[in-house]
Amino acid sequence: MTPAIQNLISRIQNHRCYSHPIFMHWAQVDPEPEVIGALFHQIQNFCAATRPGGNFPAALDLLGMNQQSGLMQEIVESEQDHGPELAMMAGHIINRAAQRQIHPDLQDQAAIEKSLKECSDRFLGSLPGYDPASGLTVQARAAIAVFDRRQRTDLDSTFRNMGSALALEMISNRHLIPGEKLCLVDSGLYRASLDEPEMHYLLEHWGEIGAEQMHEKNAVDAVTHLLTEESVRPITQGADEFLDSLAGLWDVLDASLLRSGYTDDRLAA
Ligand SMILES: [Fe+2]
Ligand SMILES: [Fe+2]
């Protein structure tokens, strides 16, 4: 590994987003079913925005970065159709938390997502800047906006997209998916296991053979050969923009729906 990529990886690992306590707090707090719905609405919309490649792989090609284009295209293809499985897992977890069938049809992605939005409206709707149409917080919209940049094809935006992609895949593989496994499975709160068909989303993404492992490797490979004196600045900027905006989303969800800042002792009291 070159010193330049090592520096960038360390910068991402040291960002507070990488070790944000939101999932630990979820496991400690045992949120009620409707709060879980609100959390999943924001998370689901954020995740959905990170999947499409937009013009990003084509821009890499056009700008002569063919190897990077292929590596990014592989990630985009492996993310297709993950939406229905995420909705299924959310509905399943809410059913288990409620101990009744709030979501009787786990295949009905639209019905589950509608209900998640209603939960979000109820619990987060009075936050400043909350958008009633999408049910998104300001912070979720900011995190999503980082991926709107994938429509742009200029060199500076493409470098920034590369940095955001690296940070996204490292966060997915090392923080988000392990965090979901911690609060949804390991916590024991929902008697859920990775073997259940309803939890296939997590199985598919988690661990050594999970999709995120491959995504992270692709992103590291792609960025390694791209880091030059010219590119290091926009690539780093893109990584920071992603990490800062996602940390902002975790902060507001943690503060509004979980118990940001509570220690174990205070929870036990
Ligand atoms: Fe996915
Ligand atoms: Fe990924």
- For ligand 1, a single-atom ion, the residues with CB < 5 A are 79, 82
Is there a domain that residue 153 lies in?
A: yes
Tens of pLDDT along the chain (269 residues) come to 899 999 999 999 999 999 999 999 999 999 999 999 999 999 999 999 999 999 999 999 999 999 999 999 999 999 988 999 999 999 999 999 999 999 999 999 999 999 999 999 999 999 999 999 999 999 999 999 999 999 999 999 999 999 999 999 999 999 999 999 999 999 999 999 999 999 999 999 998 778 999 999 999 999 999 999 999 999 999 999 999 999 999 999 999 999 765 455 544 44
Q: Taken in order 74, 58, 86, 197, is the CA torsion positive or negative?
A: negative
Question: Which one of the ligands is nearest to 81 CA?
Answer: 1
Is there a domain that residue 261 lies in?
A: no
| Span from the CA of 38 to the centroid of ligand 2 (angstroms) | 23
Q: How many domains does the chain have?
A: 1
Is there a domain that residue 266 lies in?
A: no
CB under 8 A, 24+ apart: contacts of 223-232: 223/5, 223/8, 223/162, 223/163, 223/165, 223/166, 224/1, 224/2, 224/5, 225/67, 225/68, 226/65, 226/68, 226/159, 226/162, 227/2, 227/4, 227/5, 227/8, 231/159, 231/162, 232/4, 232/8
Q: Which residues contact 106 (CB under 8 A, 6 or more apart)?
A: 87, 88, 91, 92, 95, 112, 198
| Span from the CA of 187 to the centroid of ligand 2 (angstroms) | 24
- Domain containing residue 187: 3-256
**Prediction pTM value:** 0.94
| Span from the CA of 253 to the centroid of ligand 1 (angstroms) | 21
Contact 62/153 with Cβ under 8 angstroms? yes
Q: Taken in order 135, 53, 78, 207, is the CA torsion positive or negative?
A: negative
User: What residues form DSSP beta bridges with 131?
Assistant: 136
Question: Which one of the ligands is nearest to 212 CA?
Answer: 2
Contact 218/75 with Cβ under 8 angstroms? yes
CATH number at 12 reads 1.20.910.10
| Span from the CA of 263 to the centroid of ligand 1 (angstroms) | 32
| Span from the CA of 229 to the centroid of ligand 1 (angstroms) | 33
